[in-house]
Amino acid sequence: MESLQRGSLFRLFWLFVFLLEVSSRDEEANGGAASEDRSSLLSFMAGIVSDPEHALDSWNASGIHVCHWSGITCRNLTRAVAKLDLSGRSLRGTISPALSGLSSLTILDLSKNYFQGQIPPEIGSLVGLTQLSLAWNLLQGKIPDRLGSLRRLVYIDLGNNRLSGDVPSEVFCNWSTSIQYIDLSNNSLSGKLPMRDGCELKELRYLLLWSNRFTGHVPPVLGNSSKLEWLDLESNFLGGDLPSDVLGKMTYLQYLYLSYNGFTSHDGNTNLRPFFDALANSSHLLELELGANELSGTIPANVGDLPKNLTQLHLAENHIHGSIPPQISNLANLTLLNLSSNLLNGTIPIEICQMEKLERVYLSNNTLSGELPLALGSLPHLGLLDLSRNQLSGPIPDTFANLSQLRRLFLYKNNLSGTIPPSLGKCVNLEILDLSSNQISGWIPGEVAGLRSLKLYLNLSSNFLQGPIPLELSKMDMVLAIDLSSNNLSGLIPSQLGSCIALECLNLSSNILEGHLPSSVGQLPYLQSLDVSYNHLAGALPTTLQASPTLQQLNVSFNDFRGNVSSKGAFSFLTEESFLGNPKLCGSVKDMRPCPRKKRGHVLILSILLSLVAMPLFCVFGYPALAVKARIRRQVSILHDEDRLGDEEARIDGFKGKQQYDLPKISYRQLVEATGGFGQSSLIGSGMFGQVYRGVLHDDTKIAVKVLDPLRADISGSFKRECQVLRRTRHRNLIRIITICSRPDFKALVLPLMPNGSLEGHLYGPRGGPSDGPLNLTQLVSILSDVAEGVAYLHHHSPVRVVHCDLKPSNILLDEDLTALVTDFGIARLVKTNDEQASNVNSSAYDSASCSSTDGLLCGSLGYIAPEYGMGKRASTQGDVFSFGVLVLEIVTGTRPTDVQFSGGSSLQEWIKSHYPHNLEPVIEQALARCLTSGVVQPDPAPSITAWRVVIVDLIELGLMCTQYNPSTRPTMSDVALEMGRLKQCLSSPSHIREGLVGNSHVSNDFAIGLSFSA
């Protein structure tokens, strides 16, 4: 018995020794693996040339295990690196082959950065990878063959790079056992689709190859991917018959995009039936896009057999002929139907009106005939109806008044007759109405002319309309263009047209209008193009036209105008062609007949006598009247910002028929060349929605390119139209948009480059560098006054009301004269979160906020955000006032609102408030010290210092009033602008302060009502 016990103890002893040895070996192995992983990661970091978000700071820290580095996830037991995720960190550099040393890696995500160079073939040795994402970078070259060794891949995304060349079929086929997601979209890949016979991608669910240069047919072997849900081959050079046999096996398909290729229909491009039959079993299909191919034949009746879940059907820009089959109404869930730009004929089937979920209908540019179905007015969700460029006849149905959601109605270039139904005035959301080039007669109904919702254009040209121009037209204070040309309109041009304050283009030509051209038309603040030719107008041309700062095109030909026309002002760019057929006109315009000289001897004597009589009268009556008028004009000067506007950049080309508002065309390639490929050396800033790059175009124009980041928020589908809206919001203190560059994968605003940078650069200097130069108090007050004027215009006087949402020093740019221009105004309008609805540009959006704290967008930057936003309140003008107040206090104290001294729950404004009113002296002294060190003290410094002290106190009080907790107690930005203007004037005339201001509280009495702070 004792021997047995001794034997057991002996065995237990050796087992313990064995376990110790195994544990020691495992620790040694794990330590070696960690050492190798660390070495590989450090080699990878050596290839990073820029880390603006300091994502890799922890990688440099000593004593921190690699598993605790940013972006690293390790296995629990072995502590080997299993996941490297550095997506969206704005990293720049190259991808090091040393990553192949991470032998346990299963997930590698370097997407949404700025990596350049080629994909290292060594990544193919990471045989344990299940997910690989290098998307949204600047990678070039071919896809390495060795990536085919990644046999465990489930997900690969190489989209949105600059990859080129053929894709080896071995790469695809070696993934076939497990791969579910493949995205190679938006590159420059070429050759045939990389799938050979025997390549079975049986688990594939997503195949995205859009926007490349693939050629040839869709390979039949793709039909083995029966689990496909999303197939996107759009924008390639694929051809042959539509791949019916391939698609017929994909019963789970939801999204099929084949547009912008060269596909044809079956049986010699005559039969679409087999293709629709093949999709009948894809019961989950939601969207089908076949536009811009070479499809011919008719739309077969079995189009109604497509899956009932289908919401979008695109067949536009093909060669499809015949009639629209009534069976299409079986697609009861369709929200978008696009059959435009084909060869369709016959009538619009009444059955379409049974598709009650339709929101957008495009049937334009066909040869459809017959009358407009009355039942179209029964579509409750219809927002866009485009039936233009057909042969439709008959009247416009009264039932269209029931289309409460209708925003755009295009009926131009048809044979419509009858009158314009007054009931159209009930379409209160209508933004575009184009009835031009028809045979419509009668008067223009006042109900339609008074549609205040019209925001883009009204086109009734080339009809048989008669009667006067309705006075109700003046209610269209948001419309960009009005074209009533080529009708039989008579009577006077109403002076009330001057109320259409957003109007850029007005065409009243080829009518029988008479009387004078009202001076109010020339006073339209944004008018670019005016055509009143071929009428019976008479009298002198209004001087307001010549004084217009925006007018670019003018045609007053073939009327009865008279008088002297000078070549000054807006007329300096015009020639005689703008004035033809007016024999009583003369002047100095190019090629125009000069006016004859008059005998002036007796006139001179008479003028002297009159002046001797008039001078005393003027001194008694005229001068006081002028003084009163000047005072009134100063009080309402903010309503006339157009007098300070620069030349307008938006252009409208030939407003006839359906109009387009063209922007200067700058291509994506030009932007790439101008900015050096959006390289790090061109980066001058980054913000909430993207990065800003410096660039120089071929003509040496210096530009700033703001590239909107689709990774932080989805870019709105109405991007271009929204930019057009923002282009109308012009003021000398708002940055202007030169143009936009919009592609499916890239959206950017092109702005003028400001030579003096941002206010942030002058206050603190760019990151890691010195400031752009100190600014004295006079300059800072002038800048604040400019900012207040610009934001007041956005809030109160812009044709499109905008809430800025992000006022801060980096969003204030300075031109060569240190005039401040507010930038990023309305950028929040262009961005929406994933869960936001499709459009936020209805009429209410113009009068409310640009963003909301509940939208998932941060309405501002930390330190400048109004407190009510944190409670879910919508962004408002009061929120901008709060941000301006923080900006004022920041400039006074020279301290960022996020400075560490305000940590622990306090804020800049609360800190200032704790010193107000009796303990402000340290704050004032610090502000004065910065003024004294800026080197701008005058030879007699005492008056300047006195003036500065007074203004500094006023600024503190203004900042505290703007940052009051209750939004309703804050002043409006108009009041703020007036107060800043007063302070600016005070600094320019210090004696005014000494004579007219007493004590330390100098804010205007009417402005300071309700100001109450506890010490």
> Residue 902 gets which letter from DSSP?
G
Give pLDDT, residue 514: 95
Q: How confident is the model at residue 837 (pLDDT cuts 50, 70, 90)?
A: very low
Q: How confident is the model at residue 479 (pLDDT cuts 50, 70, 90)?
A: confident
Q: Does the annotation count 806 as an active-site position?
A: yes
Q: How confident is the model at residue 364 (pLDDT cuts 50, 70, 90)?
A: very high
Q: What number is the average pLDDT over the span 217-227?
A: 91
- In terms of pLDDT, which residue wins out, 490 or 905? 490
Q: How confident is the model at residue 875 (pLDDT cuts 50, 70, 90)?
A: confident
Q: What number is the average pLDDT over the span 880-888?
A: 93
706 is in an annotated binding site: yes
Helix axes 908-915, 941-962, angle to 10 degrees: 120
Q: How confident is the model at residue 173 (pLDDT cuts 50, 70, 90)?
A: confident
Q: What number is the average pLDDT over the span 94-121?
A: 93
Q: What number is the average pLDDT over the span 576-604?
A: 80
Chain-centroid distance of CA 498 in Å reads: 29
Give pLDDT, residue 20: 47
What's the rounded Cα separation, in Å, for the pair 46 and 91?
12
Q: How confident is the model at residue 632 (pLDDT cuts 50, 70, 90)?
A: very low
Whether 153 and 131 have beta carbons less than 8 Å apart is answered as yes
Q: How confident is the model at residue 661 (pLDDT cuts 50, 70, 90)?
A: very low
Give pLDDT, residue 12: 58
3-state secondary structure at position 411:
coil
Give pLDDT, residue 110: 94
pLDDT tens for 365-398 read 999 999 999 999 999 999 999 999 999 999 999 9
Give pLDDT, residue 465: 96
Whether 855 and 735 have beta carbons less than 8 Å apart is answered as no
Q: What number is the average pLDDT over the span 284-300?
A: 94
Helix axes 877-893, 941-962, angle to 10 degrees: 150
Give pLDDT, residue 919: 80
How many Cα atoms are found within 13 Å in the side-chain-facing hemisphere of 124?
15
The active-site residue out of 641, 772, 806, 855 is 806
Give pLDDT, residue 31: 52
- In terms of pLDDT, which residue wins out, 691 or 401? 401
Give pLDDT, residue 177: 74
Give pLDDT, residue 715: 57
Give pLDDT, residue 711: 60
Q: What number is the average pLDDT over the span 125-132?
A: 93
Give pLDDT, residue 1002: 42
What's the rounded Cα separation, in Å, for the pair 809 and 794?
18
Q: What number is the average pLDDT over the span 788-815?
A: 84
Give pLDDT, residue 635: 39
Give pLDDT, residue 668: 82
pLDDT > 80? residue 623: no
What's the rounded Cα separation, in Å, for the pair 569 and 391?
46
Give pLDDT, residue 770: 41
pLDDT > 70? residue 176: no
Q: What number is the average pLDDT over the span 493-500?
A: 91
Query: Residue 917: is the preceding peptide bond cis (ω within 30°)?
Result: yes
Q: Is the dihedral of CA 514, 517, 520, 523 positive or negative?
A: positive
Give pLDDT, residue 722: 55
Judged by average pLDDT, the poorest of 316-330, 358-372, 664-678, 988-1002 is 988-1002
Measured CA to CA in angstroms, residue 680 lies from 57, 608, 820 at distances of 19, 70, 26
Give pLDDT, residue 478: 81
Q: How confident is the model at residue 27 (pLDDT cuts 50, 70, 90)?
A: very low
pLDDT > 50? residue 183: yes
pLDDT > 50? residue 351: yes
Give pLDDT, residue 989: 58
Give pLDDT, residue 834: 35
| Parallel, antiparallel or unpaired: strands 369-371 and 391-394 | parallel
- In terms of pLDDT, which residue wins out, 158 or 88? 158
Give pLDDT, residue 743: 76
Give pLDDT, residue 458: 93
pLDDT > 60? residue 26: no
Give pLDDT, residue 35: 77
Judged by average pLDDT, the poorest of 86-100, 585-599, 879-893 is 585-599
Give pLDDT, residue 768: 36
What's the rounded Cα separation, in Å, for the pair 388 and 436?
9
Q: What number is the average pLDDT over the span 744-748?
A: 78
Q: How confident is the model at residue 294 (pLDDT cuts 50, 70, 90)?
A: very high
Give pLDDT, residue 992: 42
Residue that the structure tokens 């919009």 belong to: 742
What's the rounded Cα separation, in Å, for the pair 779 and 877?
26
Whole-structure pTM value: 0.61
Q: What number is the average pLDDT over the span 994-1008?
A: 39
Task: Give the best-scoring range by mean pLDDT among 312-326, 586-600, 833-847, 959-973.
Answer: 312-326
What's the rounded Cα separation, in Å, for the pair 62 and 31?
16
pLDDT > 70? residue 960: yes
| Parallel, antiparallel or unpaired: strands 255-257 and 287-289 | parallel
Judged by average pLDDT, the poorest of 219-233, 637-651, 923-937 is 637-651
Judged by average pLDDT, the poorest of 344-348, 524-528, 642-646 is 642-646
Give pLDDT, residue 672: 86
Give pLDDT, residue 857: 43
Judged by average pLDDT, the poorest of 13-17, 488-492, 631-635 is 631-635
Whether 362 and 316 have beta carbons less than 8 Å apart is answered as yes
Whether 134 and 156 have beta carbons less than 8 Å apart is answered as no
Judged by average pLDDT, the poorest of 140-154, 212-226, 417-431, 610-624 is 610-624
pLDDT tens for 747-789 read 888 888 888 888 888 888 654 344 455 788 888 999 999 999 9
- In terms of pLDDT, which residue wins out, 936 or 307? 307
Percentage of the chain lying above the pLDDT 90 cut: 42
Q: Which helix (H) or strand (E) holds 257?
A: strand 255-257
Give pLDDT, residue 477: 83
Q: How confident is the model at residue 611 (pLDDT cuts 50, 70, 90)?
A: low
Q: How confident is the model at residue 865 (pLDDT cuts 50, 70, 90)?
A: confident
- Average pLDDT of the residues of the chain: 80
C-alpha dihedral over 889, 890, 896, 901, to 10 degrees? Answer: -40
Q: What number is the average pLDDT over the span 418-435?
A: 90
* One-letter amino acid of 647: D
